Amino acid sequence: MLLDDGKTTLSLDISVENDLEVDAEGVLHTLTFIFVEDADDPVEIRLSFEEMIENLIDFYRDDPLEKAGYRQLYSIANEFVRHADRLRDVAGYMEDRNISGDLFDDDDDFDTENNEPNL
């Protein structure tokens, strides 16, 4: 007797939020929060950034079909540098504004909607 594998379709409304966080030990993590339907409590997925980078390197180094994996690694590294520079710029600006005591008050050089300097 041959049994056919049952198949079904599942429809599920979810929302996904992503975040970066440095823990008390100084380890950078990527956080993914998955909200099912209208639930208030999400499912949290926490992955160390170092583990993610190691997996990425292993993927491109060990993939025999991707002879140009090094190009992708360079591209990703360049994007990291670009975003790291932006984070430093915004953090430095926020720090300077905190020290001066008038954080974001009537300043045309700061975009209060996006919480970053108008560069």
Q: Letter for the amino acid at 53?
A: I
Same domain, 61 and 107: no
Asked if residue 1 is part of any domain, the answer here is: no
The domain containing residue 21 runs over which residues? 14-66
Q: Which of 25, 45, 66 is the last residue of a domain?
A: 66
Strands (E), the chain: 14-22, 28-36, 43-48, 110-111, 116-117
Same domain, 48 and 35: yes
pLDDT 10s per residue in the chain (119 long)?
A: 566 677 888 888 999 999 999 999 999 999 999 999 888 899 999 999 999 999 999 988 877 666 778 888 999 999 999 999 999 999 998 888 877 765 455 556 666 666 666 76
Same domain, 113 and 72: yes
pTM of the prediction?
Answer: 0.66
Asked if residue 3 is part of any domain, the answer here is: no
Same domain, 62 and 74: no
Asked if residue 7 is part of any domain, the answer here is: no
pLDDT of residue 37: 87
Query: Nearest 5 degrees, angle CA 59-CA 61-CA 64?
Result: 90
